A = this chain, B = another copy of it.
Amino acid sequence: MFSLAEENYLKTIYHLEQESKGGVSTNAIAERMETKPSSVTDMVQKLAEKKMLSYKKYKGTTLTSGGKKIATQVIRKHRLWEVFLVDKLKFHWDEVHEVAEQLEHVQSDKLITRLDAYLGSPDFDPHGDPIPDKDGYVKPTEKKLLSELKKKQRGVCVGVKETSSEFLQYLDKKNITIGTKMQVLGKEFFDGSMIIQVGKDQFFISKIIAENIYVQTN
């Protein structure tokens, strides 16, 4: 029904919409997709014809409900495959994304239904991101950035913002993964850096790190 390129555009536009609440600019799409703005204009016009998004020249785009439907299904597939790779094939969480980028485009309703059941209908992927249900519904999430916690506050790691290998490997080195409990022991006002307690270890993290870890407080 939709080509690989079309699916990737819809997915990217969906993510950008979530991030910035509102219409998405041509340049933002181009940058995220590592392509040229002129290519984006072409594709956006095509997707507008297909009623997947609304588009006014020079004004940016917004997905229609149809476009959101496609986007969330692709995201659902991406995240379910990531769970498969980590849970069943024992991939490390920092090496599943590229493979999932390919698997997310395989077309088969039955496949995804069965895969979901086989994995035990997981709610989150290995990076803590929620898996949309068959109807594209995503549970509103209750999480904040570690950098928002104050001294003495505790939290449980529920996800990461940055998902590069480098960052995920850093977290591994510090024994931080989904479900890890942590507490802010000290916070430097000047640069936002923190001392945190993880298990029996205490160590220093920069603001950059703290801004890329999602935690749930209770």
Q: Which residues of B contact A103 (CB under 8 A)?
A: 103, 106
Q: Which secondary structure characterizes the binding site on chain A?
A: helix
Which one of A111-119, A126-134, A135-143, A184-192 is at the B interface? Answer: A111-119
Interface size bracket, A side: 10 to 19
Closest residue to A113 on the B side, CB-wise? B89
Q: Does A90 contact B (CB under 8 A)?
A: yes
Q: In whole Å, how far is A141's beta carbon from the nearest beta carbon of chain B? A: 29
Bound together, the chains give a CA A99 to CA B109 distance in angstroms of 10
Among B98, B114, B115, contact of A108 (Cβ-Cβ < 8 Å):
B98
Question: Interface centre among A98, A105, A108, A118, by most B CB within 10 Å?
Answer: A108
Closest residue to A89 on the B side, CB-wise? B114
Among B95, B102, B110, contact of A91 (Cβ-Cβ < 8 Å):
B110
Q: Which residues of B contact A108 (CB under 8 A)?
A: 98-99, 102
Bound together, the chains give a CA A66 to CA B99 distance in angstroms of 25
